[in-house]
Structures are given as C-alpha cells and as structure tokens.
C-alpha cells in the first residue's frame, strides 16, 4: 500500500490564508497503543501483562502486519477467521513503519514531534482515543479493569506534558459497573476530557439499567460519554468469518446499537444533562436509523417504546454530537438534518483512511468542499468541540497568534 502524506503545501496554504477565529480541534485522534502503557499495570496482574509478539508472515495476505499483541493467550488484532479485527497497533509492525509519520508520533512517545506534526496539519488540539481497546481484550472483567486503569494512568501522564494540546478519553470497565463508576471519578481527577465506550458491552445494550450508575457518575462529574465504533458485540462477532464482515457488521454497525440505546432506550430520559457523542460513525448510518426508529416507535408492534421522545427531539433538546470526516458524501445533508452546531471535525490521526491510505487530511478536505457554507465549517473546526468537551479558552492552544492574543 502506498500511503498519502499529510496535506500538501497547497492544502496547508488554504488553512494559512483563512482567518483563524478559534482553535482547530480534532475531536477524534488516536494513539497507536504500545507496551509502555502497561508499565502502569497493577503488579497483581504483572505476569499477565500484554506482550508484543513477532508473527512474521503468519497472516499471508497481511505480511506487513508482522507483530501482534498476545493477551491472555489470544492475538489482538485477530486478522482472520471468526471474531476478526484489524488495526495498526502495535507500532512495531512494518505497516506502522511505512506510514509517513514516525512510530514515535503514532504512539505519542515524542511529545514535541507529535505537536510539530499537529502544527504541520494545522491542528491546535487533539482529543485522543485508544486503538487497541476498540475491541474487548480479555474475558476476565477484573483484568480488563486493570488494563483500562493502566491505559488511563499512562494517558494522564503523557498528555499532562502538554495539556493545552493533548486531551484524552478515559476507558471504562463497563462489564463491572461499580468499578466503572470508580474509574469515572478517577478519570476526572486525572484530567480526562471524555469517557470512551463501545456501542455495546459484549452482548448487552447500553440502556440496560445495570449501567445507570455509570451514566449518573458521568453526568455528576460533567464528562461527555463518547460512543466509538469498534468490535463491540461478542455474539455478532462469533458469526462473522472475516475482517470484511467484522468491519461492516460489528465495527461500524454497533455504534448504531449505542445510538439506539441513548436516543431510543431511555438513557436520556433518566439523565437529562448527559452529553453524548458518536465518534467515527460518519454521516450515513444515523439518518437511516432515525427514519426507521420514527416509523417503528408509533406502531403497536414496537410497544412499549423505551424512550419518551423521538430521536430528533433529543438531538434538538440535548447535548448530542457526531464526528465527521472530509470524505462524507452526504455531509451537507447530514449537517442540515442534525444542525451545524452538533458536528465535530475528526481527522482520526494517525489512522489511515480508505483507498490510498489517506492520513490526516480530513480538515483540509472539509475546507475544500463547496457544499458546506464557511460559517458551518468554522463551527466544525473548533467551537462545537470546545462546547462538547467543555474546553475553556485559556486551557487550549490556539497557535502562536492565538496564544499571543490571549
């Protein structure tokens, strides 16, 4: 695969020539997780800490992905067969080394280099999410809790070196809700900007009442809950025999499960001030799902509908946001439907995107579109994310000019 680099000089000039009124914020950046994260693992689990193993050309059609994680005797990502997944963690693979940014940047091992790359692609602030934890890593919920706490501790330590530029999302051990509640409060104390969950907890939907204490804790501390795409659903994964099937029917589709839980399952009736974001789900799924929910919720067949209102009523009345990238074919229609003040720009850096392996071009792609008005683009580039994440102007980097102005 040939990777396309970050925006070229002409694209960077488009940013530079525009009047910059606010910080540019990537609402969904990522770290390519590395083994240094698990130096924070509780010593009680030290003998089980995740290991990076060389698998060579074991995956014949993916020979560049020649390292994988070994966690509780199972490989992550699992690049073939049932329960498949595929991503670029760990950063030791040839695949990662071929990207046009260093593995030190991908793993946020070099803070200065990471910030310099952000400057190059005209981003001021990145809100960083895990890559490795986009799928369940173990069947042991106590070990999962320990792994997630290790990750959160590492990210607090790493991003704490540049808190004005590097924000981070905390992981929650949702299979043990009482421990997830504790981690919500610890994450707030550590400086997390949001809470990351997948669209289901194994095979359990997020509106199951066992999770209510978690949403109550998030509401109490004022951290938004971000439902991220991922290989979430155990039962669905068991029936999917390839990465192709797993990407569409588990990785992509389970964010729709999460969407239903919040806007159809009654969560927002019980927690009226909760902020919710749907990350990396694009602009295609949600209008269709809203249409089907609107049709079914008024039929006798779907009685008793768990939520009090229609999806659009919640979107209009509550703090609900969606990330988009520059290549969304129906971005203009989606923006008009949801409202331009509910859209967050997401570069998904340093993940490669779709055909050609595009890297870090989402904001320049949005800038170049002629079907989205400039005033709406401006909202997508920064102010919406400031509001959603609760960033204060004095706490975020705004380039040299912005910093000087403050």
Query: Any idea what the CATH number is for the domain that residue 260 is in?
Result: 3.20.20.140
In a domain, 86, yes or no: no
| DSSP category for residue 288 | H
Residue 401 domain boundaries? 9-49+104-405
The dihedral formed by the CA atoms of 260, 262, 264 and 268, expressed in degrees to the nearest 10: 180
Q: Is the pLDDT score of 160 beyond 50?
A: yes
28: cis peptide before it, omega within 30°? Answer: no
Q: Mention every residue, 6+ apart, whose C-beta is less than 8 A from residue 155.
A: 31, 128, 168, 170, 192
Helices (H), 318-356: 331-338
pLDDT at residue number 376: 95
How far apart CA 383 and CA 390 sit, in angstroms, is 10
What are the CA-CA distances from residue 234 to residues 21, 83, 204, 249 (Å)? 45, 8, 9, 12
Please list, residue by residue across 141-154, b when 16 or more beta carbons sit within 10 angstroms of its beta carbon and e when fewer do.
bebbbbbbbbbbbb
In a domain, 64, yes or no: no
Helix, strand, coil distribution of the chain in percent, nearest 5:
45, 15, 40
Residue 235, classified by CB atoms within 10 Å of its CB into exposed (0-12), middle (13-18) or buried (19+), is exposed
Q: Is the pLDDT score of 402 beyond 70?
A: no
pLDDT at residue number 400: 60
Note the pLDDT tens digit of each residue in 261-304: 999 999 999 999 999 999 999 999 999 999 999 999 999 999 99
Residue 355 — pLDDT band, cuts 50, 70, 90? low
In a domain, 57, yes or no: no
56: left (phi over 0), alpha (psi -120 to 50) or beta: left
More confident of the two residues 184 and 60: 184
Residue 6 — pLDDT band, cuts 50, 70, 90? very low
Q: Mention every residue, 6+ apart, whose C-beta is less than 8 A from residue 270.
A: 212, 215
Helices (H), 71-176: 94-97, 103-106, 111-120, 141-159
pLDDT at residue number 135: 97
Average pLDDT over residues 165-183: 98
Q: Which two tokens stand for residue 120?
A: 């190059």
In a domain, 27, yes or no: yes
Taking each helix axis as running N to C, give the angle between helix 212-221 and helix 177-190, from 0 to 180 degrees, rounded to the nearest 10: 10
Q: What is the pTM of this model?
A: 0.93
In a domain, 95, yes or no: no
Contact between 325 and 353 (Cβ < 8 Å):
yes
In a domain, 2, yes or no: no
Contact between 130 and 30 (Cβ < 8 Å):
yes
Reported residue count of the chain is 406
pLDDT at residue number 365: 84
**Structurally, how many domains does the chain consist of?**
1
Tell me how crowded residue 104 is: count the other CB atoms within 10 A of its CB: 15
In a domain, 267, yes or no: yes
Q: Which two tokens stand for residue 276?
A: 């919710």
Residue 145 — pLDDT band, cuts 50, 70, 90? very high
Residue 14, classified by CB atoms within 10 Å of its CB into exposed (0-12), middle (13-18) or buried (19+), is middle
In a domain, 297, yes or no: yes
Q: Is the pLDDT score of 404 beyond 90?
A: no
Sign, Cα dihedral of 321, 324, 330, 335: positive
Residue 359 — pLDDT band, cuts 50, 70, 90? low
Q: Which two tokens stand for residue 286?
A: 């949600």
pLDDT at residue number 19: 62
Average pLDDT over residues 206-212: 98
Q: What's the chain's average pLDDT?
A: 91
């Amino acid at each position: 695969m040939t990777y396309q680099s970050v925006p070229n000089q002409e694209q960077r000039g488009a940013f530079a020539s525009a009047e910059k009124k606010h910080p540019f914020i990537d609402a969904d950046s990522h770290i390519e997780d590395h083994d240094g994260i698990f130096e924070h693992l509780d010593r009680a689990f030290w003998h089980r800490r995740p290991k990076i193993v060389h698998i060579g050309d074991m995956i014949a059609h993916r020979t560049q992905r020649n390292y994988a994680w070994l966690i509780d005797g199972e490989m992550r990502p699992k690049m073939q067969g049932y329960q498949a997944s595929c991503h670029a963690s760990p950063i030791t693979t040839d695949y990662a080394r071929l990207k046009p940014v260093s593995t030190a940047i991908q793993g946020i091992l070099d803070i200065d280099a990471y910030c310099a790359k952000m400057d190059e692609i005209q981003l001021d602030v990145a809100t960083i999410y895990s890559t490795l934890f986009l799928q369940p890593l173990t069947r042991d919920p106590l070990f999962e809790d320990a792994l997630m706490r290790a990750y959160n501790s590492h990210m607090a330590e790493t991003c704490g070196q540049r808190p004005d530029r590097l924000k981070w999302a905390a992981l929650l051990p949702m299979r043990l809700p009482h421990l997830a509640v504790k981690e919500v409060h610890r994450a707030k104390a550590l400086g997390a900007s949001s809470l990351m969950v997948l669209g289901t907890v194994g095979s359990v939907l997020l509106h199951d009442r066992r999770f209510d204490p978690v949403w109550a804790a998030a509401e109490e501390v004022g951290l938004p809950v971000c439902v991220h795409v991922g290989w979430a659903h155990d039962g669905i994964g068991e029936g999917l025999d390839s990465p192709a099937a797993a990407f569409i029917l588990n990785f992509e589709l389970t964010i729709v499960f999460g969407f239903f839980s919040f806007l159809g399952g009654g969560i927002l009736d019980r927690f009226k001030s909760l902020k919710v974001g749907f990350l990396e789900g694009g602009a295609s799924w949600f209008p269709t799902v809203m249409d089907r929910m609107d049709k079914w919720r008024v039929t006798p067949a779907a009685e008793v509908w768990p939520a009090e209102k229609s999806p659009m009523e919640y979107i209009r009345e509550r703090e609900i946001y969606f990330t988009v990238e520059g290549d969304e074919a129906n971005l203009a229609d989606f923006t008009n439907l949801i409202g331009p003040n509910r859209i967050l720009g997401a570069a998904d850096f340093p993940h490669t995107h779709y055909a050609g392996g595009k890297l870090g071009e989402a904001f320049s792609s949005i800038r170049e579109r002629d079907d989205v008005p400039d005033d709406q683009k401006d909202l997508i580039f920064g102010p919406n994310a400031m509001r959603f994440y609760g960033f204060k102007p004095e706490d975020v980097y705004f380039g040299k000019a912005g910093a000087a102005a403050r």
